[in-house]
Homo-oligomer: A and B are copies of this chain.
Amino acid sequence: MKLLEERIARDGVVKAEGVLKVDSFLNHQMDIDLFNEMGAEFKRLFADAPINKILTIEASGIGIAAIAAQHFGVPVVFAKKSQSINLDGDMYSTRIQSFTHGKVFNVIVSKKFIGPDDRVLIIDDFLANGCALDGLIEIVESAGAAVEGIGIAIEKGFQPGGKNLRERGYRLESLAIVESMDPGTGTLTFRDQWPSEGDAQVFGVVETIEA
């Protein structure tokens, strides 16, 4: 999605160790007009999928999922992170390793809100190693529901999460895939997902930004 790539190139900040800060428009301050365009694009990409529910995970996925849900006309369920061990039996739960925060937490979804009739689109802001998505997929499949697709705002193409999910057969659409980024120069390169639209070699490098 060119609009998102251009915004990342303009307002994203490349930090050391694979960190890309997009907190001015995506995951701290939220540009709702941009989210609306992203929601429309998710709908375009998954137009043929019989999605009846969107699942995301707190906190950064919620805004994107809520706005996208308007394009699908479906409710959103957000999985909750919990450090407590006392989970009652009415919850699907799984454990997720967070590399960003360096800890393990439980992710829970009430059994009331996902079941065998659900055809689920999973939405999140970032995909890197894919640990959070693995947990959400496990919850959907434990419930006997179907993962119709996975919609991501920004995939880090240089980390293995996206590749693994595609190899496992999931329908994964990332609106922007960062192929590489250089904190020294601030350069970001995007994977060319739409080669027909122009010169694949050049299209990827949208802009050089200051780190």
Given A59-B59, A62-B66, A66-B63, also A78-B28 (CB < 8 A) = yes
Q: Closest approach, in angstroms, between the C-beta of A34 and any C-beta of chain B?
A: 9
CB–CB A59/B80 < 8 A: yes
CB–CB B24/A76 < 8 A: no
Residue A147 at the chain B interface, CB threshold 8 Å: no
Interface size on A, residues (CB 8 A): 29
A29 vs B76: C-alpha distance in the bound complex, in angstroms?
6
Residue A168 at the chain B interface, CB threshold 8 Å: no
A63 vs B65: C-alpha distance in the bound complex, in angstroms?
8
CB–CB B112/A75 < 8 A: no
Residue A110 at the chain B interface, CB threshold 8 Å: yes
> Helix, strand, loop or mixed for chain A's interface?
mixed
Residue A69 at the chain B interface, CB threshold 8 Å: yes
Smallest Cβ-Cβ distance to A55: which chain B residue: B29
Complex contacts, A80 vs chain B, CB 8 Å: 28, 59
Residue A23 at the chain B interface, CB threshold 8 Å: yes
Which one of A59, A67, A77 has the highest number of Cβ atoms from chain B below 10 Å of its Cβ? Answer: A59
Residue A32 at the chain B interface, CB threshold 8 Å: yes
Of B25, B29, B36, B78, the contact of A30 (CB 8 Å cutoff): B78
Interface residues of A (CB under 8 A from B): 23-25, 28-32, 35-36, 58-59, 62-63, 65-67, 69-70, 74-78, 80, 109-110, 112-113
A-B contact pairs, 29 of them (CB 8 A): A24-B113, A25-B75, A28-B77, A28-B80, A28-B109, A28-B110, A29-B75, A29-B76, A29-B112, A30-B66, A30-B69, A30-B77, A31-B75, A32-B66, A32-B69, A32-B74, A35-B66, A36-B70, A58-B58, A58-B62, A59-B59, A59-B62, A59-B80, A62-B62, A62-B63, A63-B76, A63-B78, A66-B67, A67-B70
